[in-house]
A and B are shown apart, each in its own frame.
Chain A
Amino acid sequence: MAAEHCDGDGHELRFDLRVVASWIDPGSRVLDLGCADGKLLRFLRDTKEVKGLGIEHDEDEVVSCISQGLSVIHGDINKELPGFPDNAFDYVVVSQTLQQAYEPTALLQQMLRVGRRGIVSFPNFCCLPIRLQMAFSGHVPVTPELPYQWYNTPNIRVLSLEDFRAYSRAVPFSIIRSLAVNPSGDGSMREVRFWPNLLASYGIFMIRDR
């Protein structure tokens, strides 16, 4: 059991989850909304002694989390948050899930109620390749970060990095840390400092209640 439980330098993590993991303090309490097969929670448990909980609607993914000894609630992220007390977690993570939320504002407000910090990551819908596809192909963009067709995408909302900054003023919440990146095929990534809303395909933000 030890071998299968206690691994990890993070190489198995998706690039955005590596960033998320690097932002989380050891020993903290983490809620991962849409935790999928629990890779982030497992990494955090095994390397940072994080006490984690996932929420996941897919039964197979839930079973996969439990098989690794992780705690997960089989449920809908849009409905589960109101049941937690205030500040039950140090961090609430929504990675590549916000664009699937029916009511993102309610979700974010609940996140910032049950957690001291929120960590949000999503693909940038206004990065250059997408703009070019829109302009020249005449089709709704399909990219490595947004690999779906219009008829099968779970992403009911698309947004850009600038949209998220504008959104922070509307909700409102504070952005206390952010990173714009371009992942590459080998699983590594490159930070984008210059004109991120055009040149980065991915954004990761740490937020808190204002």
Chain B
Amino acid sequence: MADHSVGAVRTQSFTFAHPPHPMVLDSGVGLGPVSLAYETYGALNADKSNAVLICHALTGDAHVAGYHDGDDKPGWWEHYVGPGKPIDTDRYFVICSNVIGSCMGSCGPSSINPATGRYWGLDFPLVTIPDMVRAQRELVRYLGVEHLLAVTGGSLGGMQTLQWVAAYPEMMDGVLALATTSRHSPQAIAFNEVARQSIMSDPNWKNGDYYDGLRPDLGLAVARMIGHITYLSDESMHVKFGRELRGSSFAFNFEGDFQVESYLHHQGKKFVERFDANAFLYVTKAGDYFDLDLGNPDSPARRALAGTGARFQLVSFTSDWLYPTYQSRQIVDVLKTLGRDVSFCEITAPWGHDAFLLPDERLEVVIRGFLGGLHGC
């Protein structure tokens, strides 16, 4: 598929909410100016009806597909996005932006507070998933798009996708939410809290004010290791690592005999090179706060879903224990009750929550078919 790539791309930036008109966040705090890093692929058609918005997961970024200058590694969803691919950039105008509160180009705790000229740190206000989506709404409008063919994303990106239709129920034809939930389970919150405590107990964290010195790399690496466990599955760990050792026998020390230990160390180490510890606190908290309250007949999200004409496609994966199938099914059941046009598939995959990011023939077919159905015959 390498030849079916969008090729060379670059991340761009959009800034809005300039003083004195800040964006008012769910917390009540005003934030401005707000900057978003984003990428687009393909072209908006004449009647502006082919825009597909992709929302990234927890620590993702705007770089969905193609190659940055000098990089040999493509974007995070290269397998699914490109010319002739399920999200076909020959047919669709694809938009993705980095969420606010993150550190991959959009404003967050590791960016500079224009009021002080210093890093925001913990002075950056807490943001929610609805805040992230409101910011994306500004970007989409700036790009000249008033109506989206579809919004899609997996995991935290799936939550944004659901929040999109809850906030702007008339703005899209299709909602494609993968491996996600309408509210974080206590188990998901628990794992996030352990990860956050790992960061905050690193002596280098210093209440988030570490940008001028050593960073809390150890705490962040352990946080990432915890996350990775929740992204895999019992089965995938058996397949990937088993009880394989790095050496030929036990070393009788604590340096990590097992391949699975080595994998986690590697993931942790790789992660600190690209992600900011404070940003990790912010984005995990946003996930934990997320709750569309769909069980409540009077919740705003449920009322919005009742009024939308959008078609829904939900996908879960059999081995995903972070956002298990029953959580997608709860969303499906609400949409059934509301008489919405909803489609659902549980894909058999051994890879755990990570499955939505990995090449999967069925997922390819589902994404292509759903978008094709929206695009009309």
A: residues with CB less than 8 A from B are 1-2, 5-6, 46, 51, 53, 59, 62-63, 65-75, 80, 83-85, 88
Contact = CB atoms under 8 A, between A and B. Distances in A.
Contact of B370 (A66, A75, A85): A66
A28 to B, nearest CB: 14
A51 B343 CA distance: 13
Contact of B377 (A46, A83, A84): A46
Contact of B372 (A53, A69, A75, A85): A69
B366 A63 contact: yes
Contact of A84 (B336, B348, B368): B336
Contacts of A46: 377
B375 interface: yes
A75 B313 CA distance: 14
Nearest to B374: A69
Interface in B276-321: 311, 313
B9 interface: no
Given A63-B362, A73-B332, A83-B336, A68 B345 contact: no
Interface in B328-377: 332-333, 336-337, 339, 341-348, 362, 365-366, 368-370, 372-375, 377
| Most chain B beta-carbon contacts within 10 A, residue among A2, A63, A69 | A69
Interface residues of B, number: 26
24 contacts: A1-B375, A1-B377, A46-B377, A53-B342, A59-B345, A59-B346, A59-B348, A59-B362, A62-B345, A63-B345, A63-B366, A66-B313, A66-B366, A66-B373, A67-B366, A67-B369, A69-B369, A71-B342, A74-B345, A74-B346, A83-B333, A83-B336, A83-B337, A85-B337
B373 A69 contact: yes
B343 A73 contact: yes
Q: Interface centre among B341, B345, B365, B372, by most A CB within 10 Å?
A: B345
B337 A1 contact: no
A126 B69 CA distance: 73
B269 to A, nearest CB: 38
Tell which of B339, B341, B369, B370 has the most Cβ of chain A within 10 Å. B369
Given A2-B377, A63-B362, A67-B369, 15 more contacts: A46-B377, A53-B343, A63-B345, A63-B369, A66-B313, A69-B369, A69-B372, A72-B345, A73-B336, A73-B344, A74-B346, A84-B336, A84-B337, A84-B339, A85-B337
A50 to B, nearest CB: 13
A59, A66, A73 — most chain B CB neighbours (10 Å)? A66
A74 to B, nearest CB: 5
Contact of B369 (A6, A66, A80): A66
B368 A67 contact: yes
A60 B365 CA distance: 11
Contacts of A67: 365-366, 368-369
B326 to A, nearest CB: 12
A63 B339 contact: no
Contacts of B369: 63, 66-69
A152 B239 CA distance: 32
A10 to B, nearest CB: 17
A53 B344 CA distance: 11
Contacts of A73: 332, 336, 342-344
Given A68-B369, A69-B372, A85 B339 contact: yes
B90 to A, nearest CB: 12
Contacts of A88: 339
A59 B360 CA distance: 14
A66 B341 contact: no
A141 B347 CA distance: 36
B132 to A, nearest CB: 28
A180 B366 CA distance: 38
Contacts of A59: 345-348, 362
Task: Determine which residue in A71, A80, A85 has the highest number of CB atoms from chain B within 10 A of its CB, and name it.
Answer: A71
Interface string B236-262: 000000000000000000000000000
A127 B53 CA distance: 57
B360 to A, nearest CB: 10
A70 B373 CA distance: 7
A56 to B, nearest CB: 9
A68 B373 contact: yes
A53 B339 contact: no
- Residue from B332, B343, B346, B369 with most neighbouring chain A CB atoms (10 Å): B343
A106 B174 CA distance: 34
Interface in B123-146: none
A6 B348 CA distance: 30
Contacts of A53: 341-343
B271 to A, nearest CB: 33
A94 B346 CA distance: 22
A-B complex: 6 closest residue pairs judged by Cβ atoms: A69-B373, A5-B377, A67-B369, A71-B343, A66-B369, A83-B336
B176 to A, nearest CB: 10
Contacts of A70: 343, 373
A68 B313 CA distance: 13
A63 B337 CA distance: 23
A37 to B, nearest CB: 12
A74 B316 CA distance: 10
A70 B342 CA distance: 10
Nearest to B332: A73
